[in-house]
Amino acid sequence: MASADPTAVSREPDPGRPARYDPVAQALHWGMAALIIGNFGLALYMEDLPPVPSTIELYNLHKSLGLAALALAAFRLGWRWRHPAPKIPDDHPRWEKTAAAASHYLLYLLIFLQPLSGLMIAFASQYPTTVFWAVNLPSPIDPSKAIESAAKAVHYWGQWAMAGVVGVHVLAALRHHFVLRNDILKRMLPGG
C-alpha cells in the first residue's frame, strides 16, 4: 500500500502506522470500488442507447453517482490524512514499493479527475443535471462548447486511465494473495 515515503526502512513496528486498514477506510475502498466500476459500466451501456427520455434519466443517474463518488473521494482523502495507511512490510522489494506508491497516487488523482471532468461537462453543456431525481444542479458558468469538449476529452481518456490503473491494482493485489501468499490483500478485507 502507498506509504508517504516508500523508501523508508524501519525494523520496528511504527506506533503511528497500523498493521491493517481501519474499517472506515475499508468501507470507503470497497464502496467506491463498487460505485466507480458500476458507473463505468453504466457509461459504456448508456453511450449507445437511442436519445430518448429514459436515456436522459440514465445520464442523470451517471452524473448523480459521479457526484456521490466525488463526495466520497473528498471524505476519503480527509480520512486518509487523519488515519495513515498501514506501511508496506520491509521485505518487499524497493520497485514494488515505488510502483505501489505511484499507482496509489494515480488512483487518488483519478478518483477526483473523473468526477470533476464529468462535472465540468455538465456545467458547460446545454443539458440540465438532475441529482438523484431531486434537485437540478445550477451551473456557475455559461454553456461553452470549448470547455465542454475539453472536459469530454479528459473524461474519455480518464476513464481508460482509471480502467488501466485499477486493472494493475487488482492484478497486484491478487498476485500478493495467491502467488506471493502474503497479507497485503487481507489488510483491506474485513476480519482479515
Partner 1 sequence: MQAEDSALAFTASQSGSPVKGRFQQFQATIFFDPDDPAAGSLEVTIAMASATTDDSSRDQTLKGPDLFHVEEHPQAVFKADRFEKAEGENAYIAPGELTLRGVTNPLDLPFTLQIEGSGAGAIARAQGSVSIARLDYGVGQGDWRDTGTVADAVEIAIDVTAVRQ
Residue positions counted in the chain: 192
Residues 161 and 5: their CA atoms lie apart, in Å, by 24
Exposure string (b/e) for 172-190, b if CB count within 10 Å is 16 or more? beeebeeeeeeebbebbee
Instruction: Decide: is 50 part of the binding site for partner 1 (CB under 8 A).
Output: yes
- Judged by CB under 8 A, the stretch of 1-9, 19-27, 56-64, 152-160 that binds partner 1 is 56-64
- Judged by CB under 8 A, the stretch of 5-13, 82-90, 112-120, 127-135 that binds partner 1 is 127-135
Residues 12 and 87: their CA atoms lie apart, in Å, by 11
Instruction: Decide: is 130 part of the binding site for partner 1 (CB under 8 A).
Output: yes
Instruction: Decide: is 64 part of the binding site for partner 1 (CB under 8 A).
Output: no
Supply the minimum distance, in Å, between the C-beta of residue 128 and partner 1.
3
The three-point CA angle 12-18-19 to 5° equals 80
**11 in Cβ contact with 110 (< 8 Å):** no
For partner 1, the closer of residues 57 and 90 by Cβ is 57
Instruction: Decide: is 143 part of the binding site for partner 1 (CB under 8 A).
Output: yes
Residues that bind partner 1 (CB under 8 A): 50-54, 56-57, 60, 125-128, 130, 136, 143
